[in-house]
């Protein structure tokens, strides 16, 4: 009987996520508020239904009342988050909040299925992050000093990265995190944000040759420290983000081309210099040559995705735990295995939808500083999504990056909340402005 | 706020956004391609533990011969205990393999299909509600029970292997390896089969994993290289055979020191004259011979859908005379698997193009609807059509004029090559035969090796004869 429920709800969940994703893109074709609100309500409905179905299965499979309590706690959290955001900020982008909640829901479902303890930890961090980041739109609106302190961002970022490089604990060959009394903390996740602020504050003042040279050197220093920490995924994210921001700030194609050329050269150099880069590349080119060793993680991921197929094995029917670090870098494979390839594709589209919203907001901002911030943060976000999904599907070599809001990890969660909070702040700022103009006009 | 230094910033944001969207389209397309096309072959891997969990919900499907006879099935008793039954006992031991102590043969190859159920939706729901497992899909193999049985009986108690396949499709019709085991009692016999003092190697599929000196069957390769190096005048080669060929301190003997007398290339091939071919080997460009051997898939992973060994050919430029004399007649260090030898003959039979050998014809659900059909696939071209037809002529002479006399019949014409491979001084030679029929329009290829059985013409050719007789009487 459980099997039948799993089977039916498996298809239902795919249908619901497809509907949700469709609405996400349909939203942009409407301009009147009433229809937009209707779409958002339908999205909420889909999300809560997916959540309910998934936890029904989790409860049936585990027969553990803890799961029900956990479920109710999450429902309360999501309701209050959706409600409070609108209460505090009238002009919030509901679509963006919905997408955050949807991605968090998927993360909770998969984490609960993989490890209840981790799901609990994740929930606590999410709740705390949600609470803290409520203040961000308020801060963005009122604190002008944010655009006046480039060197605090620049030096702060380099110092933090430097500390990680020297004192960080290493995992999978890379220095990523600092340990504080049992808690590990990944400064890189936050440096990403202040790095974008640094570039934006510098370029909004001037895009003279001198500034470009200075900013390029500082950005290069960031990237080099990350390379020295062997955190190549982050190095790549920082690098591409800088090139993109430089291009948008100056409008010079030459910079984009030079960046692309330099990036290619640097990758080839990295391949020659670092053994672990060669390992990753060879594991990407032919993981089957060493299934039990270097190719183990990626082949297990491909087994998971392939065996799950379009419709998935159903929750608890796959073996996602066979993939090392599945709850972090390889969560996408677990989703694809148990919830299905279609579901996973929808997750990818929802992430892309968030990015498109970021870019729309960036386009609508008149102030260069805000424009660059929105654009830079959006770029950081989407590269991360691309690297993780591309890596686990063997589209590109795996770089060890997490899927924001879905993967397990406190630093990643908090920093993504901050990014979304800032974007939300910019959106609210813009809408408030537009409203004032309307009344005045 | 200062003025915007890049008035086209929004335009540039749009361009980069398009770039990212394009990247994601590529990613999604790749992901879909993986699920649609690649995943089947990827997930059917012994490292994929997920497949074993399928067995919790599906009764392992049946395996059929090409005419629909059951060669493996799962019986479920009243308490739900499942037993894998092989009605032909050891007849299909290596081809079908086993699924109890690990998986081999078709059981491994078709594992994913056998554990996937495509029974109709209503039945699935009924099974689910009544707590029954769904019946897994069946696999219809390319194996022919009669050919398999004939090969099995003809090989008798000898160690060795037989491969029968269709040159124009690559379908494997029979694959026998001896000694064998009974898959029905494998679990009980396991400790004996893998015991250290047991050196018979019953579990080894000699047809695909056994490495043998090719003996005179390698003369096909030597002859091909000579033809390639002397395209206009290879017919002018002559050799005077006295039964023993002396070169400095070295001697090469023909089988039983038979004196073949005056031989041209074609006659030397037909009579399998060792002296003529050793001498011819000295005239060859050793790099060229190595290249030809490599091109004919020596030293290459055959990439077959089942476990296979790599044939090896090692002689390069700088080899000494003794090595050349030996290697030209298929002795020395060269080793080949019976299936590889069958593939070489199949390529010759098929105008130079080798078809990929395969064992699964189609997958059906429990109701008999076809779920997936496998089509012949070209493996690669091993030689030109002209070369293939010339070798066919040579191989025809082997039967009509030379060592393959056991295959002379009015019913059909055979082209082939015998071999008597020495492997240890003082022991009988391994008997080889590779060939196909009808020579004019080949439909079936056979590769036979009988260990320590004597000459290819006397010990291996009759086994092929029995198989050809059966094939053409059908």
Q: How confident is the model at residue B307 (pLDDT cuts 50, 70, 90)?
A: confident
Chain B contact present for A207, CB below 8 A: yes
Helical spans, DSSP H, in A274-367? 275-285, 296-308, 331-339, 341-364
CB contact under 8 A, A368 and B49: no
pLDDT for the residue A441:
57
Residue B38 has pLDDT above 90, yes or no: no
CB contact under 8 A, A4 and B43: no
Q: How confident is the model at residue B31 (pLDDT cuts 50, 70, 90)?
A: very high
CB contact under 8 A, B49 and A319: yes
Q: Which of A244, A248, A292, A393 to mutate to test the interface with B (most CBs of B within 10 A)?
A: A248
**Which residue in chain A is spatially nearest to B16 when comparing CA positions?**
A244
Residue A93 to residues A131, A345, A355, A385, B149: CA-CA distances in angstroms?
A: 17, 24, 14, 21, 74
How close A83 comes to chain B (CA, Å)? 31
Give the number of residues written for chain B.
474
Cβ-nearest to A389 among B5, B20, B27: B27
Q: How confident is the model at residue B72 (pLDDT cuts 50, 70, 90)?
A: very high
- Strand-pairing partners, residue B240, are B262
Q: Which of B305, B301, B361, B303 is nearest to B97 (CA)?
A: B305
Q: Residue B206 is inside which H or E element, if any?
A: helix B206-209
pLDDT for the residue B4:
58
Which range is least confidently modeled, A210-219, A342-351, A432-441, B415-424?
A: A432-441
**A313 contacts in chain B (CB < 8 Å):** 50
CB contact under 8 A, B43 and A359: no
**B53 contacts in chain A (CB < 8 Å):** 317, 319
**B56 contacts in chain A (CB < 8 Å):** none
Residue A398 to residues A387, B35, B256: CA-CA distances in angstroms?
A: 7, 19, 63
Mean pLDDT of all residues in chain B? 91
pLDDT for the residue A171:
65
Residues from B in contact with A at Cβ < 8 Å? 1-2, 4-10, 12-14, 16-17, 20-21, 23-24, 26-28, 30-32, 34-35, 38-40, 42-43, 45, 47-51, 53, 57, 125, 128-129
CA dihedral (B465, B466, B469, B474) positive or negative:
negative
CB contact under 8 A, A251 and B7: yes
**B132 contacts in chain A (CB < 8 Å):** none
pLDDT for the residue A165:
85
Q: How confident is the model at residue B1 (pLDDT cuts 50, 70, 90)?
A: very low
Dihedral angle at the C-alpha atoms of A12, A15, A19, A22, nearest 10 degrees?
160
CB contact under 8 A, A395 and B12: no
Contacts of A267 (CB under 8 A, 6+ apart): none
Q: Which of A53, A113, A63 is nearest to A321 (CA)?
A: A113
ipTM for the whole complex: 0.94
Q: How confident is the model at residue B398 (pLDDT cuts 50, 70, 90)?
A: very high
Residues of the domain holding B465: 209-359+375-473
Chain B contact present for A250, CB below 8 A: yes
**Which residue in chain A is spatially nearest to B4 when comparing CA positions?**
A368
CB contact under 8 A, A307 and B48: yes
Per the CB < 8 A criterion, the answer to whether B174 and B163 are in contact is yes
> Which residues 390-409 in chain A show a CB within 8 A of chain B?
390, 393-395
| Mean local confidence (pLDDT), A38-46 | 94
Cβ-nearest to B49 among A1, A322, A362: A322
Which range is least confidently modeled, A173-187, A377-391, B36-50?
A: A173-187
Dump pLDDT digits (tens) for A105-155: 999 999 999 999 999 999 999 999 999 999 999 988 887 778 888 888 989
Q: How confident is the model at residue A380 (pLDDT cuts 50, 70, 90)?
A: very high
Chain B contact present for A227, CB below 8 A: no
Give the number of residues written for chain A.
441
| Straight-line distance from the first to the last Cα atom of chain A, in angstroms, rounded to the nearest whole number | 64
Dump pLDDT digits (tens) for B280-295: 999 999 999 999 999 9
pLDDT for the residue B2:
47
Q: Residue B28 is inside which H or E element, if any?
A: helix B9-33
Residue A181 has pLDDT above 70, yes or no: no
**Which residue in chain B is spatially nearest to A252 when comparing CA positions?**
B6
Dump pLDDT digits (tens) for B199-230: 888 999 999 999 999 999 999 999 999 999 99
How close A71 comes to chain B (CA, Å)? 28
Q: What is the DSSP letter of B459?
A: I
Residue A306 has pLDDT above 50, yes or no: yes
CB contact under 8 A, B24 and A305: no
Q: Residue A142 is inside which H or E element, if any?
A: helix A136-142
Query: How many CB atoms within 10 Å of residue A239?
Result: 22
Mean pLDDT of all residues in chain A? 91
Dump pLDDT digits (tens) for A226-270: 988 888 889 999 999 999 999 999 989 999 999 999 999 988 988
**B123 contacts in chain A (CB < 8 Å):** none
Chain B contact present for A306, CB below 8 A: yes
pLDDT for the residue A223:
93
- How many structural domains is chain B composed of? 1
CB contact under 8 A, B50 and A303: yes
| Mean local confidence (pLDDT), B161-169 | 97
Q: Which of B3, B5, B54, B58 to mutate to test the interface with A (most CBs of A within 10 A)?
A: B5
**Residue A178's Cα: distance from chain center in Å?**
21
Helical spans, DSSP H, in A209-311? 209-228, 232-250, 253-273, 275-285, 296-308
CATH number for B426: 3.40.710.10
> Which residues 2-21 in chain A show a CB within 8 A of chain B?
3-4, 7
Chain B contact present for A302, CB below 8 A: yes
| Mean local confidence (pLDDT), B411-431 | 91
**B33 contacts in chain A (CB < 8 Å):** none
How close B72 comes to chain A (CA, Å)? 25
How close A363 comes to chain B (CA, Å)? 5
């Amino acid at each position: 009987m459980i099997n039948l429920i799993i089977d039916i709800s498996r298809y239902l969940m795919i249908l619901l996520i497809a509907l949700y994703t469709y609405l996400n893109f349909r939203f942009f074709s409407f301009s009147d508020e009433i229809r937009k609100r209707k779409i958002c309500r339908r999205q909420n409905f889909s999300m809560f239904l997916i959540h309910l179905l998934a936890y029904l299965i989790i409860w049936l499979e585990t027969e553990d009342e803890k799961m029900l309590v956990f479920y109710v706690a999450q429902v309360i959290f999501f309701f209050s988050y959706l409600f409070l955001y609108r209460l505090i900020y009238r002009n919030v982008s509901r679509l963006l909040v919905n997408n955050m909640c949807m991605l968090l829901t998927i993360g909770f479902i998969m984490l609960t299925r993989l490890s209840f303890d981790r799901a609990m930890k994740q929930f606590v961090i999410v709740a705390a992050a949600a609470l803290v980041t409520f203040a961000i739109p308020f801060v963005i609106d009122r604190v002008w000093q944010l655009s006046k302190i480039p060197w605090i961002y620049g030096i702060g970022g380099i110092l933090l990265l430097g500390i990680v490089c020297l004192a960080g604990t290493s995992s999978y060959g890379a220095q990523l995190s600092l340990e504080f009394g049992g808690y590990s903390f990944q400064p890189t996740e936050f440096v990403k944000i202040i790095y974008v602020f640094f570039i934006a504050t510098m370029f909004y003042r001037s895009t003279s040759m001198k500034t470009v040279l200075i900013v390029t050197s500082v950005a290069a220093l960031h990237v080099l420290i990350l390379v020295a920490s062997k955190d190549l995924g982050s190095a790549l994210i920082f690098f591409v983000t800088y090139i993109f921001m430089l291009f948008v700030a100056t409008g010079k194609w030459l910079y984009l081309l030079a960046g692309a050329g330099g990036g290619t050269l640097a990758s080839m150099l990295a391949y020659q210099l670092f053994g672990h880069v060669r390992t990753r590349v060879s594991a990407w080119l032919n993981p089957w040559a060493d299934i039990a060793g270097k190719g183990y993680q990626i082949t297990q991921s491909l087994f998971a995705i392939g065996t799950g197929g379009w419709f998935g094995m159903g929750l608890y029917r796959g073996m996602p735990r066979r993939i090392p670090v599945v709850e972090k870098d390889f969560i996408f494979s677990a989703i694809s295995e148990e919830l299905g390839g279609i579901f996973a594709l929808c997750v990818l589209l929802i992430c892309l939808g968030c990015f498109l919203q970021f870019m729309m907001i960036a386009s609508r901002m008149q102030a260069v500083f805000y424009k660059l911030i929105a654009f830079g943060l959006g770029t950081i976000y989407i590269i991360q999504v691309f690297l993780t999904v591309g890596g686990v599907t063997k589209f590109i070599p795996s770089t060890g990056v997490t899927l924001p809001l879905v993967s397990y990890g406190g630093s990643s969660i908090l920093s993504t909340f901050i990014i979304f909070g800032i974007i939300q702040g910019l959106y609210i700022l813009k809408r408030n402005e537009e409203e004032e103009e309307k009344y005045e006009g | 706020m200062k003025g915007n230094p890049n008035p086209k910033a929004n335009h540039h944001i749009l361009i980069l956004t398009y770039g990212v969207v394009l990247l994601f389209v590529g990613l999604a397309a790749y992901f879909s391609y993986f699920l649609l096309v690649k995943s089947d072959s990827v997930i059917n891997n012994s490292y994929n533990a997920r497949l074993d969990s399928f067995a919790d919900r599906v009764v392992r499907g049946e395996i059929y011969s090409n005419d629909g006879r059951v060669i493996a099935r799962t019986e479920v008793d009243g308490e739900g205990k499942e037993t894998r039954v092989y009605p032909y006992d050891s007849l299909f031991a290596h081809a079908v393999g086993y699924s109890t102590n690990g998986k081999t043969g078709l059981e491994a190859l078709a594992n994913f299909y056998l554990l996937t159920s495509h029974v109709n939706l209503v039945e699935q729901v009924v099974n689910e509600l009544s707590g029954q497992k769904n019946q897994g899909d069946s696999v219809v193999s390319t194996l022919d029970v009669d050919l398999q049985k004939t090969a099995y009986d003809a090989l008798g108690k000898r160690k060795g292997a037989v491969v029968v396949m269709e040159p124009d499709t690559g379908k494997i019709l029979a694959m026998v390896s001896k000694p064998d085991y009974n898959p029905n009692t494998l679990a009980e016999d396991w400790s004996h089969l893998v015991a250290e003092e047991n050196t018979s190697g019953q579990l080894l599929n000699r047809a695909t994993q056994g490495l043998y000196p090719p003996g005179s069957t390698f003369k096909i390769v030597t002859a091909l290289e000579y033809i390639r190096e002397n395209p206009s005048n290879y017919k002018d080669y002559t050799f005077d055979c006295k039964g023993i060929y002396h070169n400095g301190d070295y001697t090469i003997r023909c089988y039983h020191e038979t004196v073949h007398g005056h031989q041209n290339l074609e006659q030397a091939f037909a009579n399998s004259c060792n002296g003529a071919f050793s001498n011819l080997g000295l005239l060859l460009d050793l790099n060229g011979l190595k290249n030809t051997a490599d091109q004919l898939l020596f030293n290459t992973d055959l990439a077959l859908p089942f476990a296979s060994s790599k044939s090896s050919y090692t002689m390069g430029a700088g080899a000494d005379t003794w090595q050349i004399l030996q290697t030209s007649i298929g002795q020395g260090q060269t080793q080949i698997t019976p299936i590889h030898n069958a593939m070489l003959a199949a390529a010759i039979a098929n105008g130079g193009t080798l078809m990929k050998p395969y064992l699964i014809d189609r997958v059906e659900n429990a109701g008999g609807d076809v779920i997936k059909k496998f089509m012949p696939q070209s493996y690669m071209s091993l030689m030109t059509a002209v070369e293939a037809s010339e070798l066919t002529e040579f191989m025809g002479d082997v039967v009509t004029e030379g060592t393959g006399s056991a295959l002379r019949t009015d019913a059909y014409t055979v082209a082939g090559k015998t071999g008597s491979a020495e492997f240890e001084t003082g022991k009988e030679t391994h008997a080889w035969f590779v060939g196909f029929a009808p020579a004019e329009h080949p439909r079936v290829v056979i590769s036979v090796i009988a260990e320590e059985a004597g000459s290819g013409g006397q010990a291996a050719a009759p086994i092929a004869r029995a198989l050809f007789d059966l094939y053409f009487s059908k």
